[in-house]
Amino acid sequence: MPTRHVALALLVAVAWGVNFVAIDFSLDTFPPMFLVALRFAVIAIPTVLFIPRPDVPLRWLIGYGVGFGVLQFAFVYWGMAIGMPAGLASLVLQASAPFTVVLSAILLRERLTGVQVTGILIAVAGLAVVGWQRAEHAAVAPFLLTLAGAFGWAIGNVSNRRALQDPGASSGPSRSSSAPSRPSSGVERPFRLMMWMTVIPPLPMLVVSLIVEGPSEIGESMRAAGTLDGLPAVVGVIFTAVVATIGGSGAWTWLMSIHPASVVAPFSMLVPVVGMTTAWVVLGQSVRPMEIAGALLVVGGVLFGTIRLSRGAQRADGGGEPEHGDADRGHDRDVERATANL
């Protein structure tokens, strides 16, 4: 992997880690449900205008948007709004990886390997340590809400995977108001899917916000956003939408298209490291020693399953069926793209 590509992968990890601090700043001004709607509306409007809809079944596009966009961020933002530290949120969301493996085994009938089970157990042990520490020293509800967000991310991952496994099976013609439709390349298709996923959350989350948070709280947050004190919140929304989602996910998708997943995917494990460090430096959120131990177990468990499984796949691909191996590698890249979008 060239040095420039390593630097790009590091920049993406840094952007995704800092993103949790940006979310924290935004929650100082905007109520959580409205913030979810606002975050995705910023991306959804130009997406509908300029990016052709991906040629995937509508049900999986909706499933991706509901899981990744609605459930994940509604729970995570809610948890952070009532006390989940930004740094720990970046860690607990890594539970999406073992959740995705388990859901894939149940819903997609994929076989669990011993390596995957071992990695899941290590990560679950780490999450148990973090949860125990939260229960001992703070309210456990924010932790559970963030964990629910990770499960929502896993639902989105499974929907994303099903969409990418069904090439060209759109429920109707691809539509866009200005960009002509053309066949999607291996890079374009996952990126289009990620961008069009952002079209799903804004309206449902706006309805939830109007019911739960009320028009008066929404209006007050918009007025506050127009003041100098609200500037960090506005910058946080822009950073989350433009830098973390469009820039970060776009760069990650490109890296996944030209390098093996086993080379690129481990860089995502730097996200909680950056998130916890940035939250400590910028927000003064300290982390207890046992929480650090739990974090190491979570990251180690996810890395163990990812690296060992990828190496095994590479050895298998070196056998006597190169065409099948190439297809598997391409499919693995699609799966890794799906599990890395933040």
Higher pLDDT, 68 or 110: 68
Reply yes or no on whether the pLDDT at 132 is more than 50: yes
Q: How sure is the predictor about 127, in pLDDT bands with cuts at 50, 70 and 90? A: confident
CA 244 to chain centre: 10
Q: Tell me, what's the pLDDT at 174?
A: 47
Which amino acid, residue 84?
M
Neighbour-count burial of 114, counting CB atoms closer than 10 A to its CB (0-12 exposed, 13-18 middle, 19+ buried): exposed
Check if the beta carbon of residue 130 is closer than 8 Å to that of residue 298.
yes
Tokens describing residue 335: 């799966």
Check if the beta carbon of residue 86 is closer than 8 Å to that of residue 24.
yes
Which amino acid, residue 156?
G
Least confident of 62-76, 158-172, 230-244: 158-172
- Phi-psi label, residue 83: left if phi above 0, alpha if psi -120 to 50, beta otherwise: left
Check if the beta carbon of residue 280 is closer than 8 Å to that of residue 77.
no
Reply yes or no on whether the pLDDT at 337 is more than 70: no
Least confident of 59-73, 143-157, 257-271: 257-271
Max mean pLDDT range (61-65, 137-141, 184-188, 320-324): 61-65
Which residues, other chains included, contact 125 with Cβ-Cβ below 8 Å and sequence gap of 6+? 297, 301
Max mean pLDDT range (186-190, 243-247, 296-300): 243-247
Residue located via tokens 């459930």: 71
Residue located via tokens 């629910």: 148
Question: Average pLDDT, stretch 267-276?
Answer: 85
Neighbour-count burial of 317, counting CB atoms closer than 10 A to its CB (0-12 exposed, 13-18 middle, 19+ buried): middle
Give percent of the chain with pLDDT exceeding 70.
82
Q: Tell me, what's the pLDDT at 171?
A: 44
Q: Tell me, what's the pLDDT at 332?
A: 46
Question: What's the chain's average pLDDT?
Answer: 82
Question: Average pLDDT, stretch 85-107?
Answer: 87
Q: Tell me, what's the pLDDT at 120?
A: 81
The per-residue pLDDT for range 306-317, each reduced to its tens digit, is 665 555 555 544
The per-residue pLDDT for range 279-329, each reduced to its tens digit, is 999 998 887 888 888 888 888 887 776 665 555 555 544 443 333 344 344
The per-residue pLDDT for range 142-173, each reduced to its tens digit, is 999 999 999 999 999 899 888 887 755 444 44
Question: Average pLDDT, stretch 248-263?
Answer: 78
Tokens describing residue 294: 């739990």
CA 275 to chain centre: 14
Higher pLDDT, 218 or 336: 218
Which residues, other chains included, contact 332 with Cβ-Cβ below 8 Å and sequence gap of 6+? 261, 310, 313
Q: Tell me, what's the pLDDT at 312?
A: 52
The per-residue pLDDT for range 192-235, each reduced to its tens digit, is 998 999 999 999 999 999 999 999 999 999 999 999 999 999 99
